Structure 1
Amino acid sequence: MSESAANINYKELYEASIMMVQQLNKSLEQQQKSNQSLQDQVTQLQYQLQQLTKLLKGFKSERFLPSAISNLQPELGFSADVAPPATNLSDVKKVSYTKTKKSSADIEISDNGTRLPDHLRRETTILEPTEDISDCEKVGEEVRETLSWKPGEIFVNRTVVNVYRRKTASKRGKEIIIKASLPVRAIKKCLADPALLAQITVDKLVDHKPLNRQIEAFKRNGVEIPYSTMADWVGLVAKALIPLGTIHLKEMYKYEYWHADETGIAVLDRAKQKETHKGYFWTFLTGDGKMIYYDYQPGRGGERPLNILKDFKGHLQADGYAVYDELPLENITVFYCMAHARRKIYDAQSNNEKLASYALKEIAKLYAIEEACKEEQLNEEQIKDRRNKESLPILKALGDWMKKEYQQLRPKSLIAQAFAYSIKRWEKLSLYAHTGNLMPDNNAIERCMRNVAVGRKNYLFCGSHDAAQRAGLLYSLLVTCKLNNVNPYNWLKDVLSQDINEMPINRIKTLLPYNWKGQ
């Protein structure tokens, strides 16, 4: 072989080696990307498994306990003292009643040693010894109390209207008949009176007891009520309360700060033969937490909240749902809920505990400031001043830190997604700190959504879109009762005992739960 041929072979071998190395590097890079993608998928699946496990176990607490709490004490004012454990009921010393006589045989206790409420009615049963006591002197008595129960009684309310005729005839010779007027009712010519209608409605929408279960309970008391009849009664109650619902919403428009949220509800739809339609309750709560309105809409599109929000002016706090940002309304300032941002970071602890813990500690400082304002009972101006001095610097530093850390993270990792959620919305998450009246989170309305969530687990669906609208109206007024510490049964019974349709508006306003003087 010649020298030139040998040189050519070495050159080809060198070039082939270079190509092989490049191909190996490219293959290695692809393999690394594939491994990273698989790792991200595993992380996502682990997160989903964690969320499903929480749902199955019923544990949804997001309480965060920093590992190094001593570092937070100077800034948050945490006490180093550990709270004593809750007392075990088995260790509670028995409480005895006041004795009527100072006698060792005179003892008054309940069966488990707990003092029972004094306001409860007592039914007394006196037991005498079977032995002959004619030659005995009473030296005391032992009183034992237990809580008892009588099932609700359904009975017939019989109203007798006496009719009279004047003995002396009128000038025209016609008889003059005199009789009493029938009691006033919001629902006329109904077989059920206000007390029963109120009980059925409150059982369903406040105590989450479906109509079929109520029907079974009535059967045990010897009364059979058809399902269709009971459903019609609830519909009549909702129809009677429409004037109150309309005025209630108008009263809410006087407030310039609302919370907003939405939750799904299954609805029977004739157009869908094999499955239910998923509608939504678009819910709005006034900033003082005293007035709420549930507006049913068949969908979750951007035009749905306009039904209510077209007449609202002020600050609207939402959970980050993009629809609220796209509202074509100039009079509404939308801002977001810090609790939702915190929740995503909390759920990402398994992915990167160090970064998540730091962010959670900083958010804890913000809530500690809010708690201090509440404890010190500061007014709006004082709260605004405290937030400007303490909260805004924390928010700015935390936002800048998250942006810096995000650049070094894999975009598909849980912690990166949690940071991306907050970074995108940080300005609107921080808006509350520029005021003294807005809240950092939407927790007030989140608590109110439980009424629907628990209810739909029991009654499963609404019978039609109209029925869902009626349920929204009833929820609006009955949950408002709860928010104002008004007994919903007493309120509804009283309202249904009024002729609402014949009342002027100023009289109807007095029947709204927050104006009602019935208790």
Structure 2
Amino acid sequence: MPESSIEPSLVSRLLLDRDAEYRRANAAEQLVEELSDARVLKEKYERLISEKKRDIEEKRRIIEEKNEYILRLEQKLLYLERKMWGAMSEKHRVPDDPNQLRLDFEKTDMSEEEANTVRKALEEIDRYRSTRTAKAREKRIPVRRKLPAELRHVEEHVYPEGYIGHEDEWILFSDTETSEHLELQPAELYVRVTIRHKGIRKADKLIRTAPVQDEPIAKSYASASLLTDLMVGKYVDHLPFYRQIQMFKRLGFSIPAATIEGWFHDVADLMRPAYFRLKELVLASDYVQSDETTVPIINSEKHRTVKGYLWLVRDVMNGLVFFFYNEGTRSAKVVLQLFKDFHGAIQTDGYPGYGILEKLEGIITICCWAHCRRYFDRALYNDKARAEYALAQIGIVYDVEDMADSQEMDHEQRCGLRKRLAYPVIRAFEKWCITEYPKVLPKSPIGKAINYFLTYSRQLARYTIDGRYKPDSNLIENSVRPVALGRKNYLFCGNHDAAEDAAVIYSLMGCCKVAGVDFKKWTLHFLNHIHEYDNDYTKDLAELLPHNLKELKLL
């Protein structure tokens, strides 16, 4: 074959091959560009999806926070509605379903022996309930009360018209018509002038002057009666000093506010040694209850009130109580300061600051069933079935106390009854709480209630080890009421010193209330006799405490 015919065909094939290869390369480049664009597009969409997911998560978190906030507001609203218009007592709630009173032993991790013990306890409590009769209430008929015979009676004679001046023309009958009216004579300010006379005894020719009478506050015109009225007005009648100043103005004398404030601090200083003696007596006992309450304090630097805390400690068996203030703090250091030398049982409301007492030797802590019941009572709207069941079980615990009271048991008998009936029920209730807790939301009201019980179950059960111990700390909470009323009237304490002085007066006033002594009579007696203890160190200041004066029949 000639070369001229071979070369054109070879060239054409080579050109075709190169053209095809070029097309493939071009197509490959286009494909690579498309793939690159797709990867960019994919990354772009992945970023968008990731941003959307973050937005969704953030919005979900915000929604959850708002839902929790709404739930808290609903709880506060329900509490305030009940506080304003509803019944606050959590006692003796009867569940809608009578079966709530029964314990489902199959759902609790209890041995057969434990279950039989609880059944026997519940059967005995049921028998007591069936025999318990409600106290009959007498129907009160509204009648006018007779006026007290011990009050001073002033007779006012009224004669028929025309009798006066013409008595000889009338014959009066011995029969008369009498009516009584209660009159009020306003308080009176008067000046007591003490005149000390001088004289010479003829026998020894010595000149003598009458001794100076001890007044509560030296070099002051305030008498014991005036100081007593001021203290009673503020701490019993809850009248701020500025209101009392207006009352004194109406009686004809204006007392400067600074003067009254000075008297208040002086009276507190006079009472302080007796307060320290009272504190020693309370902490020398082996069973006390402790609580704390708020009191507004003026902060001069911030120019507003700040929250301070008054601590209360009560000797349950002797009825003595004292308040304590330490710069308004509620920290655990106050707990250590108060109870570092105490030995015995301390009953509290479960405030975590008392947890440090568990580490101190010689101290056992007891918690309050009333606070535990309050948690379940607030959970009624959240989980009615579980809350009603829990309240019914706590009611059984209090039924045991009613049984002991009705049978007038002593401390040893009460302790035996609690161990036999109350303790098995508490153990069964603990098993139920352990079973139910995983089924509820931890932050829900019922979750918080169950968690509270499980956290303090040991401390709640300890009241069964001694018949003297109370199931709750209601006694110490009752002692808080005067402070709560004071907050609503005189509103605040001017500084930390004023709060400490208030703690002194509240302490002695609380002892008067427990002992059934009139705080006004006690304060007047105290101010008139406190200086008798100035130099005679053989006397015990405890003699001036209300319960001792009552025993001596001096009040």
> TM-score normalised by the shorter chain: which range applies?
0.7 to 0.9
> Could you tell me how far 1:35 is from its partner in structure 2?
8.4
Is it true that 1:276 corresponds to 2:311 in the alignment?
no
Instruction: Please say if residues 208 and 459 of structure 1, whose CA atoms lie closer than 8 Å, have aligned partners that are also in contact.
Output: yes
Superposed, which structure 2 residues align to 1:382-421 within 5 Å? 382-421=413-452
Distance 1:192 1:403, change over 3 A: same
Identical pairs, percent? 30
Instruction: Please say if residues 268 and 463 of structure 1, whose CA atoms lie closer than 8 Å, have aligned partners that are also in contact.
Output: yes
One-letter code aligned to 2:306: H
Instruction: State the aligned residue count.
Output: 467
* Alpha-carbon distance between aligned partners in 1 of 2:374 and 2:221, rounded to the nearest angstrom: 50
Question: In structure 2, what is the equivalent of residue 256 of structure 1?
Answer: 286
Distance 1:505 1:200, change over 3 A: farther
Distance 1:169 1:396, change over 3 A: closer
> Could you tell me how far 1:449 is from its partner in structure 2?
0.6
Task: From 192, 195, 207, give the equivalent of 2:222.
Answer: 192
State the TM-score, normalizing by the size of structure 1.
0.83
* Alpha-carbon distance between aligned partners in 1 of 2:76 and 2:378, rounded to the nearest angstrom: 10
One-letter code aligned to 1:147: L
Distance 1:80 1:244, change over 3 A: closer
Question: In structure 2, what is the equivalent of residue 108 of structure 1?
Answer: none
> Could you tell me how far 1:61 is from its partner in structure 2?
2.9
Cα deviations by residue, 1:369-417 (Å, 9 ceiling, x for unpaired): 1122123221111011000111101111111112211221122221111
Is it true that 1:224 corresponds to 2:224 in the alignment?
no
Question: In structure 1, what is the equivalent of residue 15 of structure 2?
Answer: none
State the TM-score, normalizing by the size of structure 2.
0.78
Superposed, which structure 2 residues align to 1:411-490 within 5 Å? 411-490=442-521
* Alpha-carbon distance between aligned partners in 2 of 1:239 and 1:233, rounded to the nearest angstrom: 10
Instruction: Please say if residues 297 and 499 of structure 2, whose CA atoms lie closer than 8 Å, have aligned partners that are also in contact.
Output: yes
- Matched residue of 2:345: which SS? strand
* Alpha-carbon distance between aligned partners in 2 of 1:250 and 1:458, rounded to the nearest angstrom: 31
Task: From 121, 126, 132, give the equivalent of 1:74.
Answer: 126
Question: In structure 2, what is the equivalent of residue 506 of structure 1?
Answer: 539
Moved more, 217-226 or 486-495: 486-495
* Alpha-carbon distance between aligned partners in 1 of 2:538 and 2:287, rounded to the nearest angstrom: 25
- Matched residue of 2:178: which SS? strand
Moved more, 135-144 or 362-371: 135-144
Is it true that 1:45 corresponds to 2:73 in the alignment?
yes
Is it true that 1:369 corresponds to 2:369 in the alignment?
no
One-letter code aligned to 2:539: N
* Alpha-carbon distance between aligned partners in 1 of 2:433 and 2:290, rounded to the nearest angstrom: 27
- Matched residue of 2:475: which SS? helix
- Matched residue of 1:514: which SS? helix
- Matched residue of 1:285: which SS? strand
* Alpha-carbon distance between aligned partners in 2 of 1:457 and 1:355, rounded to the nearest angstrom: 37
Superposed, which structure 2 residues align to 1:127-206 within 5 Å? 127-132=158-163, 134-138=169-173, 140-165=175-200, 176-206=206-236
Question: In structure 1, what is the equivalent of residue 316 of structure 2?
Answer: 287
Instruction: Please say if residues 289 and 483 of structure 1, whose CA atoms lie closer than 8 Å, have aligned partners that are also in contact.
Output: no
Distance 1:213 1:59, change over 3 A: farther
> Could you tell me how far 1:196 is from its partner in structure 2?
1.2
* Alpha-carbon distance between aligned partners in 2 of 1:58 and 1:294, rounded to the nearest angstrom: 31
- Matched residue of 1:116: which SS? coil
* Alpha-carbon distance between aligned partners in 2 of 1:495 and 1:426, rounded to the nearest angstrom: 45
Instruction: Please say if residues 238 and 485 of structure 2, whose CA atoms lie closer than 8 Å, have aligned partners that are also in contact.
Output: yes
* Alpha-carbon distance between aligned partners in 1 of 2:299 and 2:310, rounded to the nearest angstrom: 16
- Matched residue of 2:546: which SS? coil
Distance 1:336 1:347, change over 3 A: same
Distance 1:366 1:140, change over 3 A: same
- Matched residue of 1:433: which SS? helix
- Matched residue of 1:278: which SS? strand
Q: CA RMSD in A?
A: 2.9
* Structure with the higher helix share, 1 or 2: 2
Superposed, which structure 2 residues align to 1:240-389 within 5 Å? 240-270=270-300, 272-288=301-317, 290-298=319-327, 299-327=329-357, 329-389=360-420
- Matched residue of 1:235: which SS? helix
One-letter code aligned to 2:129: G
Cα deviations by residue, 1:398-439 (Å, 9 ceiling, x for unpaired): 111122112211222211111111111111111101221111
Question: In structure 2, what is the equivalent of residue 237 of structure 1?
Answer: 267
> Could you tell me how far 1:186 is from its partner in structure 2?
4.0
- Matched residue of 2:347: which SS? strand
One-letter code aligned to 2:237: D
Cα deviations by residue, 1:73-106 (Å, 9 ceiling, x for unpaired): 8355267877777746xx53x5xxxxxxxxxxxx
One-letter code aligned to 1:163: K
> Could you tell me how far 1:166 is from its partner in structure 2?
5.4
Question: In structure 2, what is the equivalent of residue 101 of structure 1?
Answer: none
> Could you tell me how far 1:207 is from its partner in structure 2?
2.1
Q: Tell me, which stretches of 5 or more residues in structure 1 are unaligned?
A: 1-25, 95-112, 171-175
Cα deviations by residue, 1:245-298 (Å, 9 ceiling, x for unpaired): 11111111221011000111112233x232223221111001226111111022
